[in-house]
């Protein structure tokens, strides 16, 4: 029973990370395409809240449930797929942490532009490009981790 509960919580956490990341990327991209500073500000505000509430919670619990699940199933930390998963988790974190700050800054810049009834400033667009590019390795690492969790390859 403990194994199944841990497995459920771990899969749920992975689903939240992947789903929230996908949703956030979609909504930010769609808001950005409007070039409407007020709309971007509102969307980015919700995105920042969702990232801090859902993604941060899941990101915090994943290593805990993963470790407990691994221990319960009898896997060693030295298993190649575990080592690769942890390395990719680090990669995902290296790209996700700046993205959270970038989203908050984009929100602030959009709010300022909306308050002045001005277009989104060049700084916003620079941050958006970085945010967009950082999404690929961050999201790719999460997708690869999911594959490693399922396949457990020995390399």
Q: Is the CB of residue 62 less than 8 Å from the CB of residue 54?
A: no
**Packed helices 37-50 and 80-115: angle between N→C axes, nearest 10 degrees:** 150
Q: What is the pLDDT of residue 155?
A: 85
Instruction: Quote the distance between the C-alpha of residue 1 and its chain's center.
Output: 30
Q: What is the pLDDT of residue 37?
A: 98
Task: Note the pLDDT tens digit of each residue in 28-56.
Answer: 999 999 999 999 999 999 999 999 999 99
Kindly give the confidence (pLDDT) of every residue in the chain, 155 residues in length, as a single tens digit, with 9 standing for 90 and above.
Answer: 799 999 999 999 999 999 999 999 999 999 999 999 999 999 999 999 999 999 999 999 999 999 999 999 999 999 999 999 999 999 999 999 999 999 999 999 999 999 999 999 999 999 999 999 999 999 999 999 999 999 999 88
Q: What is the pLDDT of residue 1?
A: 79
CA distances from 155 to 1, 35, 81 (A): 30, 46, 8
**What secondary structure letter does DSSP report for 45?**
H
pTM: 0.91
Q: Is the CB of residue 127 less than 8 Å from the CB of residue 106?
A: yes
């Amino acid at each position: 029973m403990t194994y199944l509960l841990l497995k459920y919580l771990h899969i749920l956490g992975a689903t939240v990370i992947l789903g929230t990341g996908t949703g956030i990327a979609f909504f930010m991209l769609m808001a950005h395409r409007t070039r409407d500073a007020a709309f971007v500000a509102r969307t980015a505000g919700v995105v920042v809240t969702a990232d801090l509430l859902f993604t941060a919670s899941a990101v915090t619990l994943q290593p805990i449930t993963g470790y407990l699940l691994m221990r319960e199933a009898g896997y060693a930390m030295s298993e190649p797929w575990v080592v690769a998963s942890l390395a990719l988790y680090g990669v995902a974190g290296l790209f996700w942490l700046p993205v959270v700050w970038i989203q908050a800054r984009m929100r602030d810049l959009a709010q300022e532009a909306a308050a002045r009834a001005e277009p989104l400033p060049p700084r916003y667009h620079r941050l958006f490009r970085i945010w967009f590019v950082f999404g690929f390795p961050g999201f790719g690492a999460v997708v690869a981790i999911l594959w490693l969790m399922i396949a457990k390859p020995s390399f």
